[in-house]
Amino acid sequence: MAVHIPYIDKPNPVTGVTNAKLGVWLFLASEVMLFGALFSALITLRLGVSDWPHGYDVLNVPLATLNTVVLIFSSVTVVMAWASLKMHNLKQFKTYMSLTLLMSFIFLGIKAVEYGTKFSHGISPATSNFYAIYFVITGLHGLHILGGIIVNAYLLGPGSHMWKSEPERFTGRIECAGLYWHFVDLVWIFLFPILYLL
Q: Residue 56 or 154: which CB sits closer to other proteins? A: 56
Q: How far is the CB of 120 from other proteins (least distance, A)?
A: 25
Nearest alpha-carbon partner for 118 in 139, 143, 141, 135 = 135
18 scored as a contact of other proteins (CB under 8 A): yes
Contact 149, 104 (CB under 8 A): yes
Q: How far is the CB of 192 from other proteins (least distance, A)?
A: 7
83 scored as a contact of other proteins (CB under 8 A): yes
Distance CA 185, CA 178 (A): 10
Look up residue 4 and give its DSSP letter: P
Distance CA 107, CA 67 (A): 6
**Residues in contact with other proteins, shown as a per-residue x/- string from 110 to 139 under the rule CB under 8 A:** -------------------x----------
Ranges within 20-59 binding other proteins (CB under 8 A): 21-22, 25-26, 29, 32-33, 36-37, 39-40, 43-45, 47-50, 56
140 scored as a contact of other proteins (CB under 8 A): no
Nearest alpha-carbon partner for 151 in 123, 179, 131 = 179
Contact 96, 80 (CB under 8 A): yes
Distance CA 137, CA 187 (A): 10
- Would you give the distance in Å from CA 90 to the centre of its chain? 23
By CB under 8 A, name the binding residues for other proteins.
Answer: 11, 14-18, 21-22, 25-26, 29, 32-33, 36-37, 39-40, 43-45, 47-50, 56, 61, 65, 68-69, 72-73, 75-76, 79-80, 82-83, 86-88, 129, 172, 175, 178-179, 182-183, 185-186, 189-190, 192-194, 196-198
